[in-house]
Chains A and B, each alone.
Chain A
Amino acid sequence: MIADKDIGIRAVQEFLGDDALPDRISSGSNNEHYVLLEEPEFEMAVSHLAANKFVLISLFCCEGFFKNAAHTLFYVFERRTSILVLVRGVNGRATSIASIYPSASWFERECRDGFGVEFEGAFDTRRLFLHETYPDGFHPLKKAFRNAPIVTKETVDPVDEYPFREVSGEGVYQVPVGPVHAGIIEPGHFRFSVIGETIFNLEVRMFYKHRGIEKLAEGKSPRDCIRIAEAVSGDESVANATAFCMAVEHISQIQVPERAWYLRTILLELERICSHLGDQAGMLVDVAFPLGANQFSVLREECFRESDRLTSSRFLREMICIGGLSRDVSRTQLDELTSFVHQMRKRYKIGLKIVLSTASVIDRFAPTGVIRHALLRPLNITGPAARASGGKVDVRLNHPYGIYDQFVPKPQRLRDGDVLSRFTIKASEIIDSLDLIERLIATIPEGDVRSDAPIRDGYTLALIESARGQNLCWVWIKDGAIERYKVRTASFGNWLAIEHAVQGNIVPDFPVINKSLNLSYAGTDL
């Protein structure tokens, strides 16, 4: 019986042979394994991993990692508790793996825009985050480009407009939506191909909000980068800041005090509750059930206010820092939080009961927007969306960080994969997070909340479970400054799920399906 964490190593041995190992494989500081591969072995290795149920969770590029290659590509694979990173040095050209791993398509297009790496055999070579107004040959993540304002085109010639996938046939018509939507929502474009009222195909186009997060981080001191991590997605501030700090702490071998981890975990769970409550309220608005929606939005506002009392920020910002927390939380505040949690649980359960016993709600929720289990692996769908479709994925359980090995969240799993399942999973997660917070406060140790240690050079990967699912970041520190900060939020993978979830549904159900997946535009567009 192979231990779960050794699955990755075992897989490497299968395609490289036992004796090739020592100089080609290295351990990262966060339990990940890097395997250096030559070109001929690479495709074989990817096929082998695909056959062995590994999921491609990220693919990113770096310049200057090896002396003899212009670009280094990192392919991050996950299977259960094992993380394997295939490393491949290339010079401007590489073979595409998108036909083996569909999720690679966006990643490869991202690398192409950022660094100018061409992927041979890729089925989609359209630009991703650099839209039509950006000049040709511009690749912002190249080291040769110093971050400064650039001139873009003011208008786009119709022939240069983005070519959407076209579906043709009798009675098929297109409905273009966005980037500016009707509600108070982030911008993105949805291109529906519709027959009658039924959605036949949906293509999402994102990256309208591309703010250049990754480039912005380059050259900054790790401490100055926390603010950038918090700006990846406002409602995932704690998760992204914690993931970034975890990476720096692993690289620098900084021991975070226990009390700090208790408090971080409380903040992470509070953020999750707040996010889930917002989704649930939104889903109920979209099916015209204001009674339930208002109950949840009242609870959510109270959560924001409690967050403000705890941390002086409604979004729990400026609390997470390298080595722990920027300030302590007093016993009185924690006692207050305990009674808040207690009240919250009681009132939440009342609201939930009303919602789940309302026939008009259930009628709209089930069986709407189904995500099939078979899609989870090829598209790297994570978080509540995956757990509602039978996925056993939760970073807190698969790769426990901080004190999640002592405070184990209840594994949540449903199988139907529809809007109702996602609503129900989120409900269970809210209750579980409330329980977790209560247990954490009851046993929180006294002591420091920050350890100040020097920051060292190095690189590592960090994974965290945000409200939306698995967020990943890879940090490389060189000469005390950030050389590369790669972020991949759960939404990046989950956005592709919606294209499948809406098929066969009617256009009026799109808003509720979208809300049930709660995708962050900012966290995807970076």
Chain B
Amino acid sequence: MVNALTCLLKKKVTEEKPATDEEVEVIGREMKTAIDAVFGQSLAIRELDTGSDNAAEIEINNLNNPFYDVERFGITFVASPRHADVLMVTGAVTHNMAIAARKTYDAMPSPKFVVAVGDDACDGGIFSGTYAVLGGADKIFPVDLKIPGNPPTPTQILTGLLALMRMAGKKR
């Protein structure tokens, strides 16, 4: 039975942080340094699914789980394109999503960056040349970086983002 008293009196529970992944930590530290230098300490990402098979979303979501917890490195996923520095696109661009995708891109303030995540977003993948899709994300707006994979792992996505930071740093 659960009542107010048991909630008050029971031992406070907490969870141990999972074992750290050295590779992720190294990329993360570099990421933090790069974000501090280029983006004024925080990088805001807006995720946009234009027709993925949902595996890429799951991996992007996983970047927020306690193993990666990318907020530590200055990365936040934001709810509106108006708050975003980077648009992270997954999936080939379907005809049914094209208008909404363009609106999302247009709503972002400049300067803005676009990262395509997964084979389908990079060049349309297996759907390329078919009736239902326009192709990769670069068919509707300029893409700054492509992270291939079916889908890429969270570590690969993070590595890709680091490359973007370095590119953006050089452009300044």
Contacts and interface: CB of A to CB of B under 8 A. Distances in A.
Interface of A: 129, 131, 133-134, 140, 145, 147-150, 152, 154-156, 179-180, 182-187, 207-212, 215-216, 227-228, 230-235, 237, 278, 291, 294-295, 297-298, 300-302, 304, 314-315, 317, 354, 357-359, 362, 520-523, 525
Contacts of B130: 147-149, 211-212, 215-216
Contacts of B66: 294, 297-298, 301
Contact of B131 (A215, A297, A520): A215
8 closest A-B pairs by CB: A234-B55, A212-B132, A182-B79, A297-B65, A234-B53, A234-B54, A131-B96, A184-B47
B99 interface: yes
Nearest to A354: B13
B49 A147 contact: no
Nearest to B65: A297
A234 B97 contact: no
A235 B131 contact: no
Interface in B40-87: 47-62, 65-67, 77, 79-81
23 contacts: A134-B95, A148-B130, A150-B95, A150-B131, A180-B48, A180-B104, A182-B80, A183-B79, A184-B47, A208-B94, A209-B94, A211-B91, A211-B92, A211-B94, A211-B132, A231-B53, A234-B52, A234-B56, A301-B62, A301-B65, A314-B153, A357-B6, A521-B54
A233 B131 contact: no
Contact of A304 (B3, B48, B62, B81): B62
A91 B98 CA distance: 34
Contact of A232 (B15, B53, B58, B129): B53
The prevalent SS among residues of A at the interface is loop
A212 B65 contact: no
B7 interface: yes
A315 B96 contact: no
Nearest to B4: A359
B111 interface: no
Given A211-B94, A233-B54, A298 B15 contact: yes
A68 B130 CA distance: 30
Given A145-B131, A186-B52, A186-B57, A228 B126 contact: yes
Contact of A133 (B65, B98, B153): B98
B100 interface: yes
A230 B126 CA distance: 11
B164 interface: no
B2 interface: yes
Interface of B: 2-4, 6-7, 10, 13-15, 18, 47-62, 65-67, 77, 79-81, 91-92, 94-100, 104, 126-127, 129-135, 150-151, 153
A149 B65 contact: no
Nearest to A520: B54
Given A185-B49, A186-B54, A208 B100 contact: yes
A137 to B, nearest CB: 14
B162 to A, nearest CB: 20
Contacts of A148: 129-131
B96 A298 contact: no
A295 B15 contact: yes
Nearest to B153: A314
Contact of B126 (A131, A231, A354): A231
Contacts of A359: 2-4, 7
A231 B133 CA distance: 15
Contacts of A182: 79-80
A415 to B, nearest CB: 21
B75 to A, nearest CB: 12
A215 B133 CA distance: 12
B158 to A, nearest CB: 14
The winner among B15, B59, B131 for most chain A CB atoms within 10 A is B131
B13 A291 contact: yes
Nearest to A216: B130
The winner among B15, B61, B77, B95 for most chain A CB atoms within 10 A is B95
Contacts of A357: 2, 6, 10
Contacts of A209: 49-52, 91, 94, 96-97
Nearest to A231: B53
A514 to B, nearest CB: 14
Contacts of A304: 62
B79 A133 contact: no
B21 to A, nearest CB: 10
Contacts of A278: 58
B133 to A, nearest CB: 6
